[in-house]
Structure 1
Amino acid sequence: MLSEEQCVNDAGAGNSRSPWWERLPEDFWRQPDGTELDARHPLKIHGTAAIERVMRTSLSATVAASALMTLAKPGRLQREFEALRFYEPLARAADASRVFLPPPKDIVISECALPGEDIHRLQLRFASPFKPLNPFARPQFEAMQRNAFAHAQHWCHGDRPRPTLIVIHGFAADPHWLNAHALSLNAFYRRGYDILLFTYPHHGQRAEHGDWFSGQGLFGSGLVAFNEAPLHAIHDLRVFINYLQGRGVEHIGVTGISLGGYTAALLAAVDERLAWCIPIVPAVSPVDVFLEWQPTGLLLSRLMRNQGIGVAEMRGLLAVHNPLTYAPCLDGERMLIIGGAGDRVTMPRHLRLLHQHWPGSALHWFAGNHIIHFGRREYLTCMGALMDRYSGL
């Protein structure tokens, strides 16, 4: 079992000035893993882990098939890897201000009231002025239509500015009802919080016509587009933060599940206006995740061999949007990381990396996997306590 101390030592080995992707062992994705809950809840943890290994294969096949649609085109793979090298120096500089450029302040956001009696809901939309950082990605981005518009659903009491929780969904898990159920958002609303449910690029109303499923464009548009999508998400999230502050909201926090947790952690490295950050089951090193999954592991290994690069270099090519690359803007006590002891989509070792990177942060384990969250009530209680502490409620 990979202990927290071992994880810290591995990430800190070698030259302390070298970036995290060079300090992390090449075989990080293959190392044994576990948590202190394994011995206390063996059936729940090992049972849910076994179920998830089967489910993970289907997810991995979907990701691999989406990626191959673009990378299999003649000459595309070589061009993609050449263009990816644009990002590594930016990641190595670890200066978030050079990567995440602030959005304009004068963006007009439309509001459309949605039906409902218990919760006042507004559908928010604006034309995103985001431009890809890498010139290689711009023609493809400019050809997109639906992805060029940002969307969010805002649950607002409407009586006065209230502390607001931004919620970022996971890959292919954009339905608002799904995230509302998973995080008991109705209860947080009744508790006095406003909620803003953000739609990630390439998902939901942002998915292009012809996409097979919500989220396909995230992996199906190429490796460079995959690098640009989190930058696009952060840009649009900052526009919504501007919108909330324009309505007088003083306390704004963020949470997210899986891809949403990864993005929430990244936002905490970019925007100092956040009052708290609560990533749930975030995959902190995507390259290591893809190598462990199958068949994405076979596909990525073959692509790297084809280009003559190793695991550390591949991590560096995708590190421009990694929360480990940048110093957090928040104090550690404002951060809570939540992970599943039986999670085999995002192994526990990933959460330990983030916990190490955020000194003073809290790490909470539940007895479940990426989808089945035994002990959800306990971690929602921890979430609520942290939010209340820094929300002014």
Structure 2
Amino acid sequence: MAQAQTDAIDPPIPVLDVPGADATRGGLPRREDLTWEQRLIVDSSAVADLGLRTAIASVISATMLPRMAMSALRPSDTRAEHAALEFYADLAAGKDPAASFPAPTRPPRVSTRPANPIAEWTARGRVENLRFASSFEAVNPAVRDRRLGYARNSVVHAQHWRHDDGPHPTLCLIHGFMGSAYLFNGLFFSLPWFYRAGYDIVLYTLPFHGRRAERGSPFSGYGYFADGLAGFAEAMAQAVHDFRSVLDHLEYTGVDRIALTGMSLGGYTSALIAGVDDRVQAVIPNVPVVTPDAAFDDWFPANLLVKLGNRMTHTDQDLMTAASAYHSPLNYRPLVPKDRRLIITGLGDRLAPPEQAERLWQHWDRCAFHWFPGNHVLHVSQPDYLRRMTRFLSEFMFD
């Protein structure tokens, strides 16, 4: 089996190779601890991120507005939303991942077909698209009928880059919000390099993204926020459930070592999965949010819309926070061993501020923690953290 390499990495998308570093025992560095070059990149990338954050927050606001308006105009909808929040808050209070995220009870029946020639050219190898019917049933009985109506979302999609000489250690990637395109993720995360280094690759599609988006959805990921806070909670529950079915499939095909990484919403999901399923050998959340309700406080104009909606529907902020804990990785102890956890964050990130990653680091017993001087999508020192990922994974993913 091929050995993972640790030599120079040339990402398909060229970026500056400005080094970051691991956090110290005290956490992330202070601004005065950075070099002038790092400070320049952090400051300029933070300014750029504010514009992106405002654009994404505006999209989310437009998605949430119809649901909030209906809840404000129809008292029955308000009562149902409050009951749902209390349901998830009660589940979160138990801090029991088995109760919060029940495991699939049957293996998936997976169908495969060759991917398009562009995918095979990108990987320089064999690439298949996977699909199977989701066995997910809404955790909250009150919303099950509505969730069953999402036909396209009930089919799980993933792309699998496989070597011809049998199953290899597999690196799974979960994309960010609205960023489900396989080609983009393959190039952004330099997955062809990992493939050549000996890994099989799985790109997992989150609920309501890509081919899982319902017909008429204005953008990939629309369904995550279209049904309010209860809908977001169920989307997170389904994301965990369906990925566990992917794990079932990989195990069935003989894969015995699986590492998981993800960016942004994918980082949030991967960190949550690390507290739910112990079959993941290593986890690397990249620029994750871990408390979305707190992160939203700075997301203009979504923050104003949420506050307005709460006033109109008499929703208590404490109840929202308690319900949001249901799908937060901070609510569950990690099942992945400490020496197999690595968190990556950008000091200039304003969508998922580095303080969010630092909270996860503290919850995860101050595990390996790497920072880079960039923002949420401009990972200007990506070659540096790709080398860090490679060193980290090679210790236990290959003999």
Aligned to 1:232: 238
Deviations 1:303-350 (A, max 9, x none): 333454554432211111110000000111101100000000011110
In the alignment, what sits opposite 2:60? 63
Cα distance, 1:35–1:107 mapped onto 2, change above 3 Å: farther
Determine helix, strand or coil for the equivalent of 1:272: coil
Q: 1:40 to 1:356 in 2, by over 3 A?
A: farther
Question: Matched residue of 1:41: which SS?
Answer: helix
For 1:80, the aligned partner's letter is: E
Q: Number of residue pairs matched?
A: 367
Alignment of 1:294-309 (within 5 A): 294-309=300-315
Structure 2 counterpart of 1:125 = 131
Contact 2:68 2:309 in 1 (8 A): no
1:374 is matched with 380
Q: Is the 8 A contact 2:225 2:232 kept in 1?
A: yes
Counterpart for residue 40 of structure 2 = 43
Q: 1:99 deviation in Å?
A: 1.2
- Pairing 1:3-152 to 2, within 5 Å after superposition: 36-37=33-34, 41-73=38-70, 74-75=73-74, 76-114=77-115, 115=117, 116=120, 118-152=124-158
In structure 2, distance between residues paired with 1:44 and 1:106: 47
2:201 counterpart of 1:195: yes
Distance 1:332 1:50 in 2: 34
Looking at both structures, which has the greater relative contact order when contacts are Cα pairs under 8 Å and sequence separation is at least 6? 2
Alpha-carbon separation, structure 2, partners of 1:34 and 1:312: 33
Q: Report 1:227-266 matches (<5 A).
A: 227-266=233-272
Q: Is the 8 A contact 1:35 1:341 kept in 2?
A: no
Which among 329, 337, 358 is matched to residue 343 of structure 2? 337
Farther off after superposition, 326-335 or 75-84: 75-84
Change (3 A) 1:106 1:134: same
Paired letter, 2:329: P
Aligned AA (2:190)? S
**Aligned CA distance change for structure 1 residues 372 and 172 (closer, same or farther; 3 Å):** same
Q: Please say if residues 258 and 282 of structure 1, whose CA atoms lie closer than 8 Å, have aligned partners that are also in contact.
A: yes
Instruction: List runs of 5+ in structure 2 lacking aligned partners.
Output: 1-22
Q: Deviations over 1:251-303 (max 9, x none)?
A: 00100000000000011001101110000000111001111110111011223
2:3 matched residue in structure 1:
none
Distance 1:318 1:197 in 2: 26
Measured after TM superposition, the shift of residue 82 of structure 1 is 2.5
Shift of 1:70: 1.9
Structure 1 stretch displaced more, 112-121 or 91-100 = 112-121
8 Å CA contact 2:108–2:248 kept in 1: the answer is no
RMSD: 2.0
Q: Return 5+ residue gaps in structure 1 as ranges.
A: 9-32
The change in CA–CA distance for 1:35 and 1:99 in structure 2 (over 3 A counts) is farther
Amino acid at match of 1:209: R
Contact 1:37 1:367 in 2 (8 A): no
Matched, 1:278 2:279: no
Indicate which of 311, 323, 326 corresponds to 1:320. 326
Quote how far apart the aligned CAs of 1:34 are. Answer: 6.3
Structure 2 counterpart SS, 1:365: strand
Alignment check: 8 A CA contact 2:85 2:319 kept? no
Matched, 1:219 2:225: yes
Paired residue type of 1:109: V
Cα distance in 1 for residues equivalent to 2:108 and 2:366:
36
Instruction: Write the distance in 2 (CA, Å) between the matches of 1:155 and 1:361.
Output: 30
**Which letter does structure 1 place at the counterpart of 2:103?**
P
Distance 1:5 1:85, change over 3 A: farther
Which residue number in structure 1 is paired with residue 11 of structure 2? none
Q: 2:321 is paired with a residue of what secondary structure?
A: helix
Q: Distance in 1 between matches of 2:31 and 2:163?
A: 42
Question: Conserved in 2, the CA contact under 8 Å of 1:260 and 1:282?
Answer: yes
Once residues 338 and 111 of structure 2 are traced to their aligned partners in structure 1, the CA distance between those partners, rounded to angstroms, is: 35
**Partners of 1:112 and 1:124 within 8 A in 2:** yes
TM-score (norm 1): 0.89
Question: Residue 137 of structure 1: CA displacement?
Answer: 1.6
1:360 is displaced (CA, Å) by: 4.3
Partner of 2:210: 204
